[in-house]
Structure 1
């Protein structure tokens, strides 16, 4: 499932139409956002979904550790950095849970989740719409479909 989320997060439309910065931070923010939305949906599907969401978190941690080691981040600082990244994912899960459960504001949540500092209004509008579409598609999928690669 994480491989499919990576493919989604790396789609050029986020970085072209959405004007998400095509940087390590921008790509992380995009991956963490689509992962968080997926985790919120999984959590809505009961105990089985929650278990899959926990495994997705573990896989996310493994991915971050691997990528940061490849970038040359060493053991003394790796643990702290990974905790920060997992915290950032958790923050996004909370943000998107709030948006999904009520009349949440997709544009402001998108600006907070995907962009840092100043953000392009047209880019935010595009990305918010595309994330809302992703969320709608997630809502149509069964637990098995999500777990077995039906995200795209």
Structure 2
């Protein structure tokens, strides 16, 4: 008897090629300077907001190279998959996870647009206050720190070829 298993055996998940970059985004978003010098709330929401911020900057850079469009899609799919797993680990049930993931993807989409604002611009500063501090203005030093770090990260990403970024296991600006 012929086994059909060999015909339906799933291959490796192609999104996994993006895992090192995803892990690098998570590591960069968890750097203490965002929460200490930047004053971003070190809460579940604050951590999500930082992951979304760093991810948006990386996706902006990937989008600059049309040849890497699939990598951008796979990278975003890892975000969705990871957020789904995180929601389930926290204890959300199947009925709620889909709605929450939809909200998270919507939030990421909004941030992708908002974080295209030029470095140091009032538009970027307003988007950061709205998203990182939920509309409550932080101390000027906190906002200034986050704005400066975003500029540094964008410059470093711009200096890196997109193909190298897609294959990276760390981001080009890395605090100790």
Task: Give your verdict on TM over 0.5.
Answer: yes
The equivalent position to 1:116 in structure 2, one of 134, 151, 169, is 134
Q: Over aligned residue pairs, what C-alpha RMSD do you find? A: 1.7
Q: What is the match of residue 106 of structure 1? A: 124
Separation (CA, whole Å) in 2 of partners of 1:139 and 1:82: 30
80-89 or 136-145, larger mean C-alpha shift:
136-145
Shift of 1:106: 3.3
- Per-residue CA distance 1:103-124 (angstroms, 9 max, x = gap): 6743223223322131312211
**Greater helix content:** 1
C-alpha distance in 1 between matches for 2:122 and 2:80:
28
Q: Deviations over 1:26-52 (max 9, x none)?
A: 000000011011111111112x22221
1:151 CA displacement: 1.5
Is the CA contact (8 Å cut-off) linking 1:106 and 1:132 kept in structure 2? Answer: no
Contact 1:14–1:20 at 8 Å: present in 2 too?
yes
CA distance in 2, matches of 1:117, 1:129: 20
Larger radius of gyration: 2
Q: Establish whether residue 52 from structure 1 lines up as the match of residue 71 from structure 2.
A: yes
CA distance in structure 1 between the aligned counterparts of 2:122 and 2:142, rounded to whole angstroms: 19
Gaps of 5+ in 1: none
Distance in 1 between residues matched to 2:126 and 2:26, nearest whole Å: 23
**Structure 2 unaligned spans of 5+:** 1-20
Compared CA separation, residues 113 and 50, structure 1 to 2 (3 A): farther
Taking structure 1 as the reference length, what is the TM-score of the superposition? 0.91
Partner residue, 1:87: 106
Distance in 2, Cα, partners of 1:91 & 1:53: 17
What TM-score results when the alignment is normalised by the length of structure 2?
Answer: 0.79
Tell me, yes or no, if the aligned pair for 1:32 and 1:92 is still in contact at 8 Å. yes
Rounded to whole Å, the distance in 1 between the matches of 2:122 and 2:64 is: 17
Q: How many residues align?
A: 149
Residues 118 and 124, structure 2, Cα contact 8 Å, conserved in 1: no
